[in-house]
Chains A and B, each alone.
Chain A
């Protein structure tokens, strides 16, 4: 297994990073890196942390980081997850206002504590915190409930002052979206599974409209909607497929949410190196944050409408003879 930390990899240009990941030879994880400068989205750190915790990994090799930005990886806790001594010495600063290092969450209780701790760490005001904690809660719960991974969720976030954006990565090394959704729906490909997973009202726990008493199938749709309204990137990668919500046109006056993620402005691909589990990356721009309650009005309209349309499609048609 080989992974290369490039000069730059954020959600806008993450495709080439993912394509360069080599999942073959599954017992050794080899990490190489750009020699001059490495600047990457937190989701990449969580991916590496996740790979390092795969049961089949017997050995981890990481070349000595030479890039000037190497201190960042030590501060984010990457080497702790790799169980390697980086040889990098840093002065520990108070982390408040800047980042949440890679964190492994395995239980509901750990998630509750993480949510309480993360807001002060990022110094967010209540309006800014609302979509952020919503997203983290829904995504991590998805992992805990559906991934069937003993390793839980790997979470990492970073606030970027210049762009006023929080970037979040949440990763698991579980069964992946296709197997989860496939329990209750007919799924032919990883990409179709991603499409269904982002459709409101579709859950892997039942094929019944309205979900079960515990799962509604609305989590990923809500998160994609938050990203769309705020003109942020959202990326989900599982198996061999990746779906990426692109930023909508800034001049669009009326925002319309789509129940089908393929109707949103997006890119997608089905020939990526196989990822065992699910990777989600999202950016939250704090500048363009629509009021959360305004966003809920848009979601309400689409969420209920999509059930109505699906139900109508199942109505028995009269036979005119």
Chain B
């Protein structure tokens, strides 16, 4: 499954409610079915740490760090890559 983040957030991904909706209604059900999930950040030029946390932290908590083999991040610019890295590292440490 590929999820186009821009469709939910526009250029600046900061709406945590949108992140929560994507996680609950799309990411987790697909992962539970054993599918691979691709989060496509095309056209999104920035995101907040709070948005990314609301998007994926619970996924990492529920499925563990190994889920990063099936949860993939596509078309992320440098800023978004770094924010995703901060959140994934943080969740695996905690």
Contacts and interface: CB of A to CB of B under 8 A. Distances in A.
Nearest to B58: A213
Contact of B53 (A209, A211, A300): A211
A94 interface: no
Contacts of A133: 12, 14, 46
Interface string A109-122: 00010011000000
Interface residues of A, number: 34
Interface string A186-221: 000000000000000100000011110111101100
Contacts of A308: 93
A304 B89 contact: yes
Interface stretch (A38-46, A61-69, A291-299): A291-299
A296 B82 CA distance: 6
Given A108-B17, A141-B50, A216 B90 contact: yes
A211 B57 CA distance: 9
Contact of A213 (B12, B45, B57): B57
A138 interface: yes
A60 interface: no
B53 A307 contact: no
Given A137-B14, A214-B16, A296-B86, A130 B94 contact: no
A105 B26 CA distance: 29
A293 B90 contact: no
A218 B94 contact: no
Nearest to A209: B94
B16 A293 contact: no
| A interface secondary structure, majority | helix
Contacts of B49: 138, 216, 218-219, 222
Contacts of A137: 12, 14, 48, 50
A138 B48 contact: yes
B74 interface: no
Contacts of A299: 86
A130 B14 CA distance: 12
A116 B9 CA distance: 11
B48 A210 contact: no
A287 to B, nearest CB: 21
A208 to B, nearest CB: 8
Interface of A: 108, 112, 115-116, 126, 130, 133-134, 137-138, 141, 201, 208-211, 213-216, 218-219, 222, 292-293, 296-297, 299-300, 303-304, 307-308, 311
14 contacts: A112-B15, A126-B45, A130-B46, A209-B94, A210-B57, A213-B57, A216-B53, A216-B57, A218-B90, A296-B83, A304-B93, A307-B90, A308-B93, A311-B94
List 4 A-B pairs, minimum CB-CB distance, nearest first.
A210-B94, A213-B58, A209-B94, A296-B82
